[in-house]
């Protein structure tokens, strides 16, 4: 298949994804929802933090660590579970998966395109959440201090990693119609727990830390924090203080590559089994 | 072994026909579908043999029908040929490509529509849904727009083209899905019960369109599954009768009817009675009983006319009255009963 065919698939499926994400309500209601949802999501943690620590200024680095982790974790939930959910909704709700499957497009590219809408919305949510944190909660942040050279490739690798993880779970979803939601929630909880999303991985038992260090999201979140708060002491909190930015970037790159290869293999294998077992147009009405 | 050049162009010579005819006249027959010893087993708590040793060849340009009751294996076969499902055993080539190893080469050139299909994105309009699928098949934008407009006109959906799919009726969604299948201009289309659940006039319109579509271009091929006898009889060049995963017969509708034999198809109307005892009368090859509110309609294939006396006597002895008796020219339904030993429904 030619690259222009893939690009066309990417464009059309991204358009479809955006229509589905944004077209369910009136524009004003959609805009309101887009503002309220990320703020509500992060406020839960903020309130918990304030109950324990009384105010943000007492430990600004710790507050930034937690707030940034919770904010950027929105990408994980949107992109990873968004891709998986495409399989579920296209097969069961829209009943279009079989038509898409037998069309001459790459299912990988289609799913990545559908994820683009999720990435766009998650980016909006993260920006809104950051602005809310800075303006309302006094999150210490200086745009001029951001290490963009570190931030941009970190985000690119992070997205690649999240899309790969999404594809792997989408593969599982092809085979298990009834359980895809619970698998998403289970994986989401584990990633949240093991990757240092809101607390350093050093609080985990040794085996938990070992698992956390094999997941690229751990390195991604660490580099996001370091690039947005260079030299503010935030790097001392995550349990990766012995490693330089460059070393962590190499860890992120290698683990993302391994993750991507594993995910593609897994999806390919799941696709073959699903076609063999007749699961591609299975309607469970579950 | 087939020559590589023929495989690459997606054309397989039908070897026997080309050998026999090719020496005498410059005539070439190409094969659209070639199935050899195909089986499909669904495993689960109870293993189900959905297709059992199917052998079938469909030529390019044919409108080929698969006729059989629900659960006969028609949809399973369509799913395998349209690359949605893998066979358990045997081989299937579609337009020269193996469904197992070369699905991508097949997908560019085929499409599939299932009857009763209400799939689609409710948040998009009918036109947007159709346009999106044409783009997945790489149809140029201008061509896609023109083709979609034309099909919307043909199927009477032009006034609903810009309505969100979620707001239209089930029948209109079904029509949109039929348009989706044709909007990509496939070389081979699989239609699985295309008129299922549609009203009579829409079904007639669709059948007319199918006839027109296949006659417009000699290289177009259609495989249609149905359990409507009339549909198969009206539309198909050849019909395969499929029952319990096996192909029982393949022939033209006229050829299948000839197998029944003249003078052996009867229709009896009587007041209600239990028809079970009819089956045991010697000379009754097959029968279908269709009870209505105050009547029993019996359609029968008999070995010879003399059996009719025994049947009437059986009906009368059960306390019912025969209200009419007709001797018919065999229909495709009779052919089905003759070959399968029971009715389609």
pLDDT per position as a tens digit, B76-97: 999 999 999 999 999 999 999 9
pLDDT over 50 at B223, yes or no:
yes
Chain B residue closest in CA terms to A14: B132
Nearest to B121 among A96, A103, A104 (CB): A96
- Label residue A37 by pLDDT band (50, 70, 90): confident
Contact B181, B100 (CB under 8 A): no
Nearest to B121 among A20, A98, A275 (CB): A20
pLDDT over 50 at B15, yes or no:
no
- CA-nearest of B296, B287, B110, B134 to B188 is B110
* A 191-230: CB under 8 A from B: none
The CA distance from A181 to A84, in Å, is 9
Q: Stretch B243-257: mean pLDDT, rounded?
A: 93
Chain A residue closest in CA terms to B165: A94
A100 vs B136: CB contact, 8 Å cut-off?
Answer: yes
* pLDDT reported for residue A144: 81
Q: Return the structure tokens found at A67.
A: 């707030």
Kindly provide the b/e burial profile for residues A100-138, where b requires at least 16 CB atoms within 10 angstroms of the residue's own CB: bbbbbbebbbbbbbbbbbbbbbbebbbebbbebbeeeee
* pLDDT reported for residue B11: 44
B120 vs A12: CB contact, 8 Å cut-off?
Answer: no
The CA distance from B7 to B17, in Å, is 17
- Label residue B8 by pLDDT band (50, 70, 90): very low
The CA distance from B327 to B264, in Å, is 8
Half-sphere exposure at residue B103, Cβ-oriented, CA atoms within 13 angstroms: 19
Q: Is B108 on the interface with A (CB under 8 A)?
A: yes
- Label residue B184 by pLDDT band (50, 70, 90): very high
Q: Is B124 on the interface with A (CB under 8 A)?
A: yes
Alpha carbon separation from A166 to B22, B128, B333 (Å, rounded): 55, 27, 51
* A 17-56: CB under 8 A from B: 19-20, 23-24
pLDDT over 50 at B4, yes or no:
no
- Label residue A54 by pLDDT band (50, 70, 90): low
The CA distance from B208 to B192, in Å, is 17
Substitution target in B123, B164, B173, B180 with the highest count of A β-carbons within 10 Å is B123
Contacts of B108 in chain A (CB under 8 A): 104
- How many contacts (CB atoms, under 8 Å) link A and B? 74
The CA distance from B339 to B247, in Å, is 10
State whether residue A272 is helix, strand or coil.
Answer: helix
B85 vs A104: CB contact, 8 Å cut-off?
Answer: no
A275 vs B82: CB contact, 8 Å cut-off?
Answer: no
Q: Is B112 on the interface with A (CB under 8 A)?
A: yes
The mean predicted confidence, pLDDT, of chain B is 87
Phi, psi dihedrals of residue A190, rounded to the nearest 5°: -65, -45
The CA distance from B193 to B228, in Å, is 9
Helix (H) or strand (E) run with residue A135 in it = helix A107-135
Kindly provide the b/e burial profile for residues B152-178, where b requires at least 16 CB atoms within 10 angstroms of the residue's own CB: bebbebeebbeebbeebeeebbbbbbb
Any idea which residue has 């430990």 for tokens?
A: A59
Alpha carbon separation from A182 to A21, A84, B44, B92 (Å, rounded): 22, 11, 23, 38
A94 vs B122: CB contact, 8 Å cut-off?
Answer: yes
A19 vs B84: CB contact, 8 Å cut-off?
Answer: no
Q: Is B47 on the interface with A (CB under 8 A)?
A: no
The CA distance from B122 to B90, in Å, is 39
Contacts of B112 in chain A (CB under 8 A): 98-99, 102
Q: Return the structure tokens found at B196.
A: 């299922």
Q: Is B123 on the interface with A (CB under 8 A)?
A: yes
Nearest to A281 among B42, B84, B107 (CB): B84
Comparison of pLDDT for B148 and B296, the residue scoring more: B148
Contacts of B170 in chain A (CB under 8 A): none
Q: Is B84 on the interface with A (CB under 8 A)?
A: yes
Nearest to B120 among A5, A9, A94 (CB): A94
B42 vs A16: CB contact, 8 Å cut-off?
Answer: no
Nearest to A103 among B79, B107, B120 (CB): B107
**Complex ipTM:** 0.84
Q: Distance, in angstroms, between B142 CA and closest chain A CA?
A: 15
Chain B residue closest in CA terms to A10: B136
pTM of the model: 0.84
pLDDT over 60 at B20, yes or no:
no
Size of chain B, expressed as the number of residues it contains: 345
Say which residues have a Cβ less than 8 Å from residue B237's Cβ, sequence separation at least 6.
B62, B63, B64, B252
pLDDT over 90 at A43, yes or no:
no
Contact B256, B241 (CB under 8 A): yes
The CA distance from B6 to A182, in Å, is 50
The mean predicted confidence, pLDDT, of chain A is 87
A102 vs B111: CB contact, 8 Å cut-off?
Answer: yes
Comparison of pLDDT for B149 and B326, the residue scoring more: B149
Comparison of pLDDT for A138 and A254, the residue scoring more: A254
- Label residue B306 by pLDDT band (50, 70, 90): confident
A104 vs B132: CB contact, 8 Å cut-off?
Answer: no
pLDDT over 50 at B26, yes or no:
no
A102 vs B86: CB contact, 8 Å cut-off?
Answer: no
B117 vs A95: CB contact, 8 Å cut-off?
Answer: yes
């Amino acid at each position: 298949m030619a690259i222009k065919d893939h690009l066309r698939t990417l464009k059309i499926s991204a358009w479809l994804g955006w229509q589905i994400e944004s077209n369910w309500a009136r524009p004003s209601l959609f805009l309101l929802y887009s503002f309220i949802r990320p703020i509500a999501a992060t406020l839960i943690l903020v309130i918990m933090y304030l109950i324990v620590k009384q105010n943000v200024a007492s430990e600004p680095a710790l507050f930034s660590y937690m707030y940034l982790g919770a904010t950027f974790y929105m990408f994980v939930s949107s992109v990873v579970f968004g891709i998986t959910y495409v399989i579920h909704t296209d097969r069961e709700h829209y009943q279009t998966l079989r038509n898409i499957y037998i069309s001459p497009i790459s299912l990988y590219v289609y799913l990545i395109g559908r994820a683009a809408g999720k990435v766009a919305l998650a980016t909006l949510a993260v920006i809104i959440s950051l602005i809310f944190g800075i303006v309302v909660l006094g999150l210490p942040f200086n745009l001029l201090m951001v290490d963009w050279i570190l931030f941009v490739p970190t985000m690119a690798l992070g997205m690649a990693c999240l899309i790969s993880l999404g594809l792997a779970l989408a593969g599982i979803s092809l085979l298990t119609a009834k359980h895809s939601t619970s698998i998403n929630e289970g994986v989401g909880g584990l990633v949240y727990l093991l990757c240092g999303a809101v607390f350093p991985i050093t609080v985990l038992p040794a085996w938990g830390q070992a698992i956390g260090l094999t997941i690229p999201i751990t390195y991604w979140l660490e580099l996001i924090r370091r690039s947005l708060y260079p030299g503010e002491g935030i790097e001392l909190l995550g349990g990766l203080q012995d490693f330089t930015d460059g070393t962590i970037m190499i860890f992120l790159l290698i683990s993302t590559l391994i993750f991507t290869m594993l995910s593609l293999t897994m999806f390919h294998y799941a696709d073959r089994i699903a076609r063999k077992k007749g699961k591609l147009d299975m309607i469970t009405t579950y | 072994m087939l020559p590589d050049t023929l495989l690459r162009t997606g054309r397989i010579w039908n070897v026997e026909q080309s050998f026999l005819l090719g020496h005498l006249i410059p005539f070439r027959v190409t094969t659209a579908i070639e199935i050899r010893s195909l089986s499909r087993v669904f495993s689960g708590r109870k293993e189900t043999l959905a297709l059992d040793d199917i052998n079938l060849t469909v030529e390019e340009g044919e409108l080929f029908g698969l006729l059989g009751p629900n659960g006969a294996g028609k949809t399973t076969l369509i799913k395998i040929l349209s690359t949605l499902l893998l066979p358990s055993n045997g081989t299937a080539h579609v337009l020269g490509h193996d469904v197992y190893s070369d699905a991508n080469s097949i997908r560019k050139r085929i499409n599939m529509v299932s009857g009763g299909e209400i799939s689609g994105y409710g948040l998009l309009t009918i036109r947007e849904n159709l346009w999106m699928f044409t783009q997945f098949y790489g149809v140029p934008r201008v061509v896609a727009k023109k083709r979609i407009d034309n099909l919307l006109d043909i199927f009477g959906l032009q006034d609903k083209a810009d309505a969100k799919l979620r707001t239209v009726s089930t029948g209109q969604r079904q029509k949109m899905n039929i348009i989706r299948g044709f909007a990509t201009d496939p070389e081979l289309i699989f239609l699985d019960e295309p008129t299922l659940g549609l009203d009579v006039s829409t079904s007639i319109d669709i059948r007319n369109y199918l006839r027109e579509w296949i006659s417009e271009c000699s290289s177009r091929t259609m495989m249609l599954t149905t359990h409507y006898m009339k549909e198969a009889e009206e539309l198909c060049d050849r019909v395969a009768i499929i029952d319990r995963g096996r192909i029982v017969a393949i022939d033209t509708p006229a050829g299948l009817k000839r197998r029944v034999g003249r003078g052996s198809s009867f229709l009896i109307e009587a007041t209600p009675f239990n028809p079970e005892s009819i089956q045991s009368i010697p000379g009754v090859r097959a029968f279908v009983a269709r009870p209505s509110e105050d009547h029993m309609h019996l359609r029968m294939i008999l070995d010879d006319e003399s059996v009719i006396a025994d049947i009437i006597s059986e009906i009368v002895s059960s306390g019912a009255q025969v209200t009419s008796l007709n001797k018919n020219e065999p229909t495709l339904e009779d052919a089905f009963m003759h070959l399968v030993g029971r009715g389609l429904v």
